[in-house]
Amino acid sequence: MNKSSPTALNASLIRCHSCHLLCKAAPSLEDVSTVCPRCGAKLHSRKPNSIARTWALVIAAFVFYIPANVLPITHVISFGKAQSDTIMSGVIYFVKSGSWPIALVIFVASVFVPLLKLFLLIYLLISVQLKSRWRPKERTRLYRITEAVGRWSMVDIYVVTILVALVKLGSLATIEAGPGAIFFAAMVIITIFAAMSFDPRLIWDTQE
């Protein structure tokens, strides 16, 4: 980036994190009067403790990721027989039954995307902490992708919820959500908050 390029920080402007209004900064951001004139939110040039909060959420997401994939996500009782399936056993079942598209969607949304998002966040955190100047535009795009695709990991939870709601056939068949579904939903929600807590403007601070 050209060092002579004007920036909001150099122009004493701050964007409100709540309503995104571009505001004039006070001489000192520690001033309690530095609030958004439209919504009243406290103004910050950068998200407070962005790196520490994101690291904490990423680590918590990894902790939840293990039981989410080890514990059963569904319990199926059909004709008196009970069967419990994890995410991967469900993928293997659809592969063996010839339903490759369904297996691919579940694997990508429930296994690949959550891991990819966590590793991308780790990469962005490390690059910011090391004050890397390498390809800031590409890293910013990676962050946007990470923020956008994370919510699609909830596809598996939506499927389980629909099945539990629809398959109510009494003694013939019953589907219940397993403990893995709770850990998986918690993991996805935590990764969404992790992406929200990361401030991509930190990527560009080293360029100035």
The tens place of each residue's pLDDT in the chain, 208 residues long, gives 445 566 666 667 777 777 877 777 666 544 445 788 788 777 777 777 888 999 999 999 999 989 988 888 877 766 667 677 788 887 887 788 777 887 787 788 778 888 888 999 999 999 888 887 788 888 888 888 887 776 666 665 666 666 555 555 555 566 677 788 888 888 888 988 888 888 888 887 776 6
Element (H, E) at 14: strand 13-15
Q: What is the pLDDT of residue 189?
A: 87
Q: Rounded to whole angstroms, how far apart are CA atoms 188 and 203?
A: 24
Q: Rounded to whole angstroms, how far apart are CA atoms 112 and 141?
A: 19
Going from the N-terminus, what domains does the chain have, and what CATH number goes with each?
1-45 (no CATH), 49-205 (1.20.140)
Contacts of 196 (CB under 8 A, 6+ apart): 147
Are 21 and 36 in contact by the 8 Å Cβ rule? The answer is yes
**In the block, residue with structure tokens 């539990």:** 164
Are 39 and 16 in contact by the 8 Å Cβ rule? The answer is yes
Single-letter residue type at 150: G
Are 178 and 111 in contact by the 8 Å Cβ rule? The answer is no
pTM above 0.85, yes or no: no
Pairing outcome for strands 173-177 and 74-78 = antiparallel
Query: Closest by alpha carbon to 36, among 44, 48, 46?
Result: 44
Q: Rounded to whole angstroms, how far apart are CA atoms 115 and 69?
A: 12
Q: 83: which 2 tokens?
A: 């069967």
